[in-house]
Amino acid sequence: MGFRSTGYREETELNSPTQPTAARSSSSTTTRSMWWRRETYHPRFEFRSLISRMILATGEYFMHRSKSWVLLVGVLMVTVIGEVTWITSPEISLSLFYILPITFVTWRNGRMAGFGLSVLSVCVWVIADAGKISSLSAVGYWNPAISLAFFLIFSETFAEFSVLLEWVRTDYLTGLANARGFHDLVTREIYRSERTGRSFSLAYLDIDNFKSINDTLGHTAGDAVLRLVGKTLHKTTRKSDSVARIGGDEFTILLSGAGQQSAEAAIAKIEEAVRTEFSRANWPVTFTVGIATFPEPPHSVEAAIKQADDLMYEAKRMGKNTKNHRVIAIDGGDRQQ
């Protein structure tokens, strides 16, 4: 399997997120309209309250750190809270602050780590309030016991919530990002491009004749093809890149910081990897790919994805097993590539 490239095309000006493009077939229009409805009526998952959004942002920061690092920070936070409890008046309760390290450790390391930190938090609290507890005899242990129960219930609930939050952005079949998750990833890349001035590229891949695979080999084989495609794309791309499955047989790749040549080399590497994997499986699978390179940040995520989507369908009209690469000018100025 080898891509039949249409070559670099004339640079396209992207003046607005809703810039009209050439008419396409009814099926491609339906696919695009489905994408627009998904993005328009299902905005990316976010919290409205300021406190919750701060917790979410901090949690995402910890998710990019190693588990051992997050656990160490959690233990240090518990120790600091215990020290503050020791030097303050017994009438001032600081037990609520233990929720913060328990939250982040549970989010990053899972429920068992959260349970362990909950027990440690109560032990530190008991030691810090030892004088008060001994003066009240057995009654003084009631509050720590209740707090431990609360911490454990909170850890269990938050562990389930963190899994739900992950699956909201994840494709159930391939384990890649879904349309909602990819929207968030491209949003961050646009912000990064605005700050640093670096270009980036989006690739929109469609499996050729995927329906015939389902019809002739069955849906189980079709699912196996999708999983193998997702695994191969994830394995072939860099850690800084992002891969998503946003439709039945459609995948997108965010090539972070990639210009013309870098994007072309990345897609060639992907082509080789896919050809090798599917030759082993004896599956006659090919791709049609649209690649949009943005030297400047686009107006919106929708506009960026739409450009790559349009290029993919343009390549489809030229013939399958084809790639179509174009550099997108944001502020105008056409020039031949």
List, by residue number, the catalytic residues.
Answer: 249
Contact 5, 326 (CB under 8 A): no
Residue count of the chain: 337
DSSP for 222-279 reads: HHHHHHHHHHHHHHHS-TT-EEEE-SSSEEEEEETT--HHHHHHHHHHHHHHHHHHHH
Contact 311, 280 (CB under 8 A): no
Amino acid at 132: K
Which among 326, 335, 336 has a CA at the least distance from the CA of 21? Answer: 326
Half-sphere exposure of 178 (CA within 13 A, CB side): 18
Angle CA 240–290–239, to nearest 5: 10
Distance separating alpha carbons of residues 260 and 277, to the nearest angstrom? 26
Contact 319, 4 (CB under 8 A): yes
Q: Is 300 left (phi over 0), alpha (psi -120 to 50) or beta?
A: beta
What three-state secondary structure class fits 173?
Answer: coil
Q: Which two tokens stand for residue 254?
A: 């965010």
**DSSP element (H, E) containing 204:** strand 200-207
Sheet holding 322-329, edge to edge: 4-13, 322-329, 287-294, 200-207, 250-255, 242-245
